Amino acid sequence: MKRALVTTGLGLLLAAQATVAQDLAVRAERLYPVAGPAIDNGVVLIRNGRIERVGPADRVRIPDGVQTLEARVVTPGLIDARSVVGLAGYLNQPHDQDQLESSAPIQPQLRAIDAYNPRETLVGWLREHGITTVHTGHGTGALVSGQTLIAKTWGNSAEAATLQSPAMIAAQLGSGAFGAEGKSPGNRSKQVAMLRAQLVKAGEYRDKLARAKADSAPPRDLELEVLVEVLDRKRPLLVTAWREQDILSALRLAQEFNFRLVLDGAAEAYLVVDQIKAAGVPVLLHPTMARQYGELENASFTTAAALHQAGIPFALQSGYEGYVPKTRVVLWEAAIAAANGLGFDAALASISLDAARILGIEDRVGSLEAGKDGDLVLFDGDPFEYTSHVTAVVINGQVVSTVPR
């Protein structure tokens, strides 16, 4: 396993977060902006937490007195497109496992921000491996488990770390979200029927609100309010669907109710590439190395390459692991995808700019461009080589992790 960085201590966390964003320059033997071609002997200049200039060293002058970091390779801060980190903790004990509440099958009103812990050890662990932004929240195991949020992996509070909340509404189709014995939903058709019924009910609730006067409005319904946002296309419905049949059911529901669908997991997506592309639906693909059993028994190392070849927007994710350390690292998942047909550039984009575009945060993160947040990862070699290490991480222009070399 790659060597972890040395800034996980709470004292260092508090000390570093007390600093004010300062001017910073980063020089790289090879710089990957992602939004454009790689730059040899490149420089990124950051002022007040945002990128001011990017380019070759002979075109980007570093002002006198500006702190300068150097590395062999520099990339944008990496993005984990789907996780439960911050709700699920590394201790794997009931008190730090808030990613799933199982008392009811449909609970879209559960807010990820109310359970997100920015000081969770796993958040720091991901940060030390170059993940600067994470899309996290309620996980799999229920028909509708709750909301997600998008956060930087750095911040004293959930509010300070969060870029967007809520981001999406998490749902699941397939056997992984069947109810316990004797409880609904007991099979696939019941799942779809229950979800359809709630969407219909949300539409009726919306109509009542539109017709009602201020003094005669129906009582607030937190569950239906969230689903109204889905129907109004203000919030995507993130549907975990591993099997071909569940992917197609999700596509049918999206067409019927005209909501914004994002497919999650999608182990058998390569079987329905044409249908996914025709629907214009993006995919948050399962970790490349996810264990292939159960609903993932037909997963493939080459699915990322197949989606890329078809022109389907996709990003890689760490997903959810039921065992310690409770999360994967998308840097390594992308490396395996790169070696299985995806290639270096597309693999890097799948955990940076392509992920940012699907999450709707490409104006802030995902590439090294003027005006974007100063989020960078410094490596001592090829990011996808097993023997390479993250040597420093910069978020919002602050150096938040370093390793003495």
Q: Which amino acid is at 159?
A: E
Q: What is the pLDDT of residue 1?
A: 35
CB count, 10 Å around CB of 227? 28
What pLDDT band is residue 6 in, cutting at 50, 70 and 90? very low
Round the CA-based radius of gyration of the chain to a whole number and report it.
21
Q: What is the pLDDT of residue 21?
A: 62
Query: Does residue 8 have a pLDDT over 90?
Result: no
Task: Tell me the C-alpha distance between 246 and 244, whole Å.
Answer: 5
Q: Which residues contact 135 (CB under 8 A, 6 or more apart)?
A: 79, 80, 81, 82, 83, 148, 149, 150, 167, 168, 284, 317, 355, 359
Task: Tell me the C-alpha distance between 60 and 56, whole Å.
Answer: 6
- Report the pLDDT averaged over residues 150-168: 97
Strand-strand pairing, 283-285 and 261-265: parallel
CA–chain centroid gap for 217, Å, is: 37
What pLDDT band is residue 321 in, cutting at 50, 70 and 90? confident
CA distances from 163 to 114, 131, 151, 160, 396 (A): 15, 15, 5, 8, 12
Cβ atoms of 206 and 228 within 8 Å: the answer is yes
Which of 171, 172, 170, 152 is closest to 162 using CA atoms? 152
Query: Does residue 158 have a pLDDT over 90?
Result: yes
pLDDT tens profile 352-382? 999 999 999 999 999 999 999 999 999 999 9
Q: What is the pLDDT of residue 215?
A: 74
Q: Which residues contact 4 (CB under 8 A, 6 or more apart)?
A: 125, 128, 129
User: Phi first, then psi: what are they for 262, rounded to 5°?
Assistant: -125, 120
pLDDT tens profile 27-58? 999 999 999 999 999 999 999 999 999 999 99
Share of the chain above pLDDT 70, in %: 94
78-359 is classed in which CATH architecture? Alpha-Beta Barrel (3.20)
Cβ atoms of 383 and 345 within 8 Å: the answer is no
Task: Tell me the C-alpha distance between 239 and 243, whole Å.
Answer: 12
CA angle at 115 for the pair 114 and 119, rounded to the nearest 5°: 115
Q: What is the pLDDT of residue 393?
A: 98
- Report the pLDDT averaged over residues 143-171: 98
Query: Does residue 286 have a pLDDT over 80?
Result: yes
Q: Which residues contact 21 (CB under 8 A, 6 or more apart)?
A: 48, 49, 374, 396, 397, 398
Cis previous bond, 166, omega within 30:
yes
Which tokens sit at 183? 């409880």
Domain positions in the chain: 10-76+367-402, 78-359
Q: What is the pLDDT of residue 15?
A: 40
Share of the chain above pLDDT 90, in %: 89
pLDDT tens profile 77-127? 999 999 999 999 999 999 999 999 999 999 999 999 999 999 999 999 999
What three-state secondary structure class fits 348? Answer: helix
Q: What is the pLDDT of residue 118?
A: 98
Strand-strand pairing, 39-47 and 50-56: antiparallel
Task: Tell me the C-alpha distance between 237 and 230, whole Å.
Answer: 6
Query: Hey, what CATH topology would domain 10-76+367-402 get?
Result: Urease, subunit C; domain 1 (2.30.40)
Higher pLDDT, 11 or 125: 125
Cβ atoms of 155 and 395 within 8 Å: the answer is no
What pLDDT band is residue 404 in, cutting at 50, 70 and 90? low
Query: What pTM did the predictor assign?
Result: 0.94
The least confident of 19-23, 103-107, 156-160, 230-234 is 19-23
pLDDT tens profile 196-248? 999 999 999 999 999 998 778 889 999 999 999 999 999 999 999 999 999 99
Q: What is the pLDDT of residue 403?
A: 77
What pLDDT band is residue 7 in, cutting at 50, 70 and 90? very low
Task: Tell me the C-alpha distance between 212 and 219, whole Å.
Answer: 11
Q: Which residues contact 332 (CB under 8 A, 6 or more apart)?
A: 2, 289
**Average pLDDT along the chain:** 93
